[in-house]
């Protein structure tokens, strides 16, 4: 383990978090706390790796933290990586806890600030947990395959439970699951389960595209062709459109036809444009059908 404790909290509760950090510093407990990430930042690989590298997950529960999207992402991720006996909720106020989070916390051993002050009660309990020998630690690592997270993500997505879908796609994607990398791009592009972030959408489409995913290749090519949300690159757009079009992706076929029609990234060729518009039209693309009627 790289860390003894991962501290999950809202920046608005920094005063209590810093009290805990000072107590940890005094007795040599290794901890991870994110002091720098700004509101709106992505659920990053850095945070995910820190959670996975921690023995204990200390969740500072408050009205601030339980309404934070990013805190909820961290909590859901911790549930996939850390045994329940090492997830410790520390309740800072008496505000109602949202039902979904309350359900997650209900089986856990909970402390609260009013009855269990940071020093010595909370710190002593954490010391005892850290000192305990987790003899079956290896059994808890990677016990769930990325495809299972991906399937759960698709189920949640189909039920419009986008935040849960986003968390599952994130876990599967960082383990190299290509379809989840694509789905994560969709979430970022559409603002489903996370704030809309076209840079992150393109980044995840790129990962899936490089692995040969035709839908991701087509979506990334569209972004590069438009050049509105990410820097434009007609040459790379054409390359990706071709890869996906040759695999039968209808949108990519129409996109490649548009490149040939306009001479963007390739020499203009009405013949080639008609060829790819025809390929897309055969698959039912209405815009390509209209193009074939007007293209001379």
Q: What is the per-residue pLDDT across 156-171, written as a single tens digit (0 to 9) for each?
A: 898 999 988 898 898 8
Q: Give this prediction's pTM.
A: 0.57
Q: What is the pLDDT of residues 216-231, one digit of tens each?
A: 999 999 999 999 888 9
Compute the residue count for the chain: 296
Residues 6+ apart with CB under 8 A from 163: 69, 72, 73, 193, 194
Given a contact cutoff of 8 angstroms between Cβ atoms, the answer to whether 279 and 253 are in contact is: yes
Residues 6+ apart with CB under 8 A from 129: 55, 56, 85, 86, 88
Q: Is 31 helix (H, G, I), strand (E, B) or coil?
A: strand
Half-sphere exposure of 22 (CA within 13 A, CB side): 9
100 pLDDT tier (thresholds 50, 70, 90):
confident
Interhelix angle 45-52/69-81, rounded to 10 degrees, is: 40
Determine which of 53-62, 115-124, 128-137, 179-188 has the lowest per-residue pLDDT on average: 128-137
Strands 87-91 and 31-33: unpaired
- The answer, yes or no, to whether residue 265 has pLDDT greater than 70, is yes
- Mean pLDDT value of segment 31-58: 77
Q: pLDDT at position 124, please?
A: 85
CA atoms within 13 A on the CB side of 117: 2
Q: What is the mean pLDDT of residues 272-276?
A: 94
Q: What is the pLDDT of residue 174?
A: 84
Long-range Cβ contacts of 21-28 (<8 Å, 24+ apart): 23/118, 23/119, 23/123, 24/123, 27/123, 27/127
Residue 115 DSSP SS3 = coil
pLDDT tens sequence across 173-185: 888 899 999 999 9
Of the listed ranges 92-96, 139-143, 207-211, 269-273, the least confidently predicted one is 139-143
Secondary structure class of 264 (helix, strand, coil): coil
Using the predicted structure, report yes or no on whether residue 276 has a pLDDT greater than 80. Answer: yes
- Give the Cα separation of 21 and 27 in Å (integer): 10
| Span 224-258, pLDDT tens digits | 999 988 899 999 999 999 999 999 999 999 999 99
* Whole-number pLDDT of residue 176: 87
Burial of 135 (0-12, 13-18, 19+ CB in 10 A): exposed
Question: 77 to each of 32, 50, 71, 255, how far by Cα in Å?
Answer: 15, 11, 10, 37
Domains in the chain with CATH codes: 3-140 (3.40.50.10140), 147-294 (1.25.40.10)
Task: Report in angstroms the alpha-carbon separations of 180 from 113, 166, 247.
Answer: 39, 9, 20
Could you list the beta-strand ranges (E) of the chain.
3-8, 31-33, 54-61, 87-91, 111-112
Residue 69: what pLDDT? 81
């Amino acid at each position: 383990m790289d860390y003894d404790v991962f501290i999950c909290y809202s920046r608005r509760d920094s005063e209590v978090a810093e009290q805990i950090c000072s107590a940890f510093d005094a007795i040599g407990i290794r901890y991870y706390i994110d002091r720098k990430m700004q509101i709106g930042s992505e659920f990053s690989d850095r945070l995910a790796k820190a959670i996975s590298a921690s023995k204990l997950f200390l969740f500072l529960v408050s009205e601030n933290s339980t309404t934070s999207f990013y805190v909820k992402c961290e909590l859901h991720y911790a549930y996939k990586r850390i045994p329940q006996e090492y997830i410790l909720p520390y309740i800072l106020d008496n505000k109602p806890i949202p039902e979904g989070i309350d359900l997650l916390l209900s089986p856990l051993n909970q402390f609260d600030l009013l009855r269990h002050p940071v020093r010595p009660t909370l710190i002593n309990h954490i010391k005892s947990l850290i000192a305990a020998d987790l003899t079956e630690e290896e059994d808890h690592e990677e016990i769930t395959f990325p495809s299972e997270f991906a399937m759960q993500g698709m189920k949640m997505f189909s039920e419009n439970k986008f935040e849960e879908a986003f968390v599952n796609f994130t876990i599967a994607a960082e383990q190299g699951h290509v379809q989840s990398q694509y789905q994560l791009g969709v979430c970022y592009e559409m603002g489903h389960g996370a704030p809309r972030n076209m840079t992150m959408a393109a980044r995840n489409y790129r990962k899936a595209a490089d692995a040969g995913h035709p839908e991701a290749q087509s979506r990334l090519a569209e972004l590069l062709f438009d050049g509105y949300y990410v820097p434009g690159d007609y040459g790379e757009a054409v390359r990706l459109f071709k890869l996906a079009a040759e695999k039968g992706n209808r949108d990519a076929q129409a996109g490649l036809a548009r490149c040939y029609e306009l001479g963007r990234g390739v020499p203009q060729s009405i013949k080639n444009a008609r060829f790819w518009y025809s390929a897309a039209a055969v698959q039912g693309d209405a815009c390509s059908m209209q193009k074939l009627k007007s293209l001379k």
